[in-house]
Amino acid sequence: METMKKLITTSCANYIDGKCLLFDRECPLISGGEYRGKKIPASDCSCTYFEKAVLPANKTLEAVYYGIDTVLNKKCKGCGKGFNSVSNKAMYCGDVCRKSANRNSHRKYNQKRAK
Ligand SMILES: [Zn+2]
């Protein structure tokens, strides 16, 4: 998971030169861990510091981390479907809805003028 790795290497304050200062070994979220002699894949590892201090800054990766494909925190004003956006200004799920909404408001405007 390249993007997760990038977030850790660039944003985690405990990540120095591939090592985690908290665990005093390689970052388990990147290199994976070991528990009673059994290898644990990086995707199954967790880090409390990362969850609390690094992850909330990136909602998309937060969803990936917790195994949720998409956190639908917005409702599209065009089609009414839920969608995910980190931007507070986002009102539409995509360009298609934004454009058709603009077209509709134009049409209403023109109808009023025609009367
Ligand atoms: Zn929509």
Exposure of 55 by Cβ count < 10 A (0-12 exposed, 13-18 middle, 19+ buried)? Answer: buried
Grade residue 54 by pLDDT with cuts at 50, 70 and 90: very high
Q: Do both 43 and 19 map to the same domain?
A: yes
Which of 26, 45, 65 finishes a domain? 65
Segments forming the whole domain that contains residue 103: 74-114
CA of 89 to the centre of ligand 1 (A): 14
Q: What tens digit of pLDDT does each residue of 59-74 get?
A: 888 878 887 655 567 8
Residues 45 and 7 reside in one and the same domain? yes
Confirm if 54 and 11 have CB atoms less than 8 A apart: yes
Domain count, the chain: 2
State in Å: Cα 78 to ligand 1 middle: 5
Residues 54, 51, 33, CA angle at the centre, nearest 5°?
105
Q: Are residues 37 and 86 in the same domain?
A: no
Residue 58 shares a structural domain with residue 82: no
Local confidence band at 39 (pLDDT 50, 70, 90 cut-offs): very high
